[in-house]
Amino acid sequence: MDAVRPPLHRRPSGLRRSVAGAAGRAVAFTLAVAASFAVAVLTQDVLPDVPAPPVRGGIDPTTQLMADLRCSASGLPGDAIPASTLIRTPDGRVRQVSFDRGWSVHLGERPGELVALCRAPLR
């Protein structure tokens, strides 16, 4: 009677399967990121530039509002305490709101985008 020979290959161990799976996921993730960058670069050249609407008097209304309310888009000096904020609502309007509401927008708890911190209190 012939002896039964073990198979020529071994089944992968749990660790070997985990490593192979992780490597496969890493390759797939890398390919997905590379593809998204390629799409972004290609569509950037294809999409037309849309000019901003003309501004009366040569000053953007948001810039004028920021000057009037003593706002800064990059933060106030260390000793200054913001009394209000400017936010851009989802429909594109810029509004002055309380600091607490503006910070909620910044944290993503409310819709919109934080535009600037302001020294002037709410009007």
Mean pLDDT of 107-121: 92
pTM as predicted: 0.52
Q: In what order do the strands lie in the sheet with 71-72?
A: 71-72, 113-118, 84-88, 94-98
Query: Does pLDDT of 115 surpass 70?
Result: yes
Query: Does pLDDT of 55 surpass 90?
Result: no
Q: What is the pLDDT of residue 72?
A: 86
45, two tokens: 């050249």
Mean pLDDT of 110-114: 94
Q: What is the pLDDT of residue 73?
A: 86
42, two tokens: 């290609």
- What rounded mean pLDDT belongs to the chain? 77
Percent of the chain with pLDDT over 70: 59
